[in-house]
Amino acid sequence: MGKYTLDYFSKYYFYEEDEFLEKVEEGKFILEKLKESNRFDYKGHSFKYTKFNNISMSDTKTKVEIEISEEDINVIINGELKHLDLIYKFDTKHLEDHVRIATRISEKMDDISCLLYIDYNQSEQFLKELENVKNKQQNNMNK
């Protein structure tokens, strides 16, 4: 099992305006601020309009611990079992000082887009282990 520390872990929630007002606490206030500037940071979240004219709410954490087991189709993020939907999306991009992995995380009521940023010192082994998880997920689908 590999243990890694992500520099950043960001989850992105997407809403239509009506849904945003219904689901997000203080949605009306946030929406008013968004209409003024198209981006608004509030209580640890960043809100903005997307190119599809819906609203994204991001939740970014730093120094996030992630554990990957050789035997599991899931991972452990900050002590909680999570499912990264690597079959659906597993895009990597090499940035100046990080590797960014774009994927989706399944939570109780939603599938949420997420970005994982890991430094180059850990990235090679981390990507190999994520690829192994993806292969296990694919094998699990074919059973």
Query: Would you say 5 and 65 are in contact if contact means Cβ atoms under 8 Å apart?
Result: yes
Mean pLDDT by 10 residues, the chain (143 residues): 94 92 92 91 92 92 94 93 94 95 86 93 95 93 78
pLDDT at site 80: 93
Taking the CA atoms of residue 40, residue 85, residue 131 and residue 114 in that order, the dihedral angle to the nearest 10 degrees is 0
pLDDT at site 106: 87
pLDDT at site 71: 86
Please give the model's pTM, rounded to 2 decimal places: 0.87
pLDDT at site 4: 97
H-type alpha helices, 11-92: 17-23, 27-37
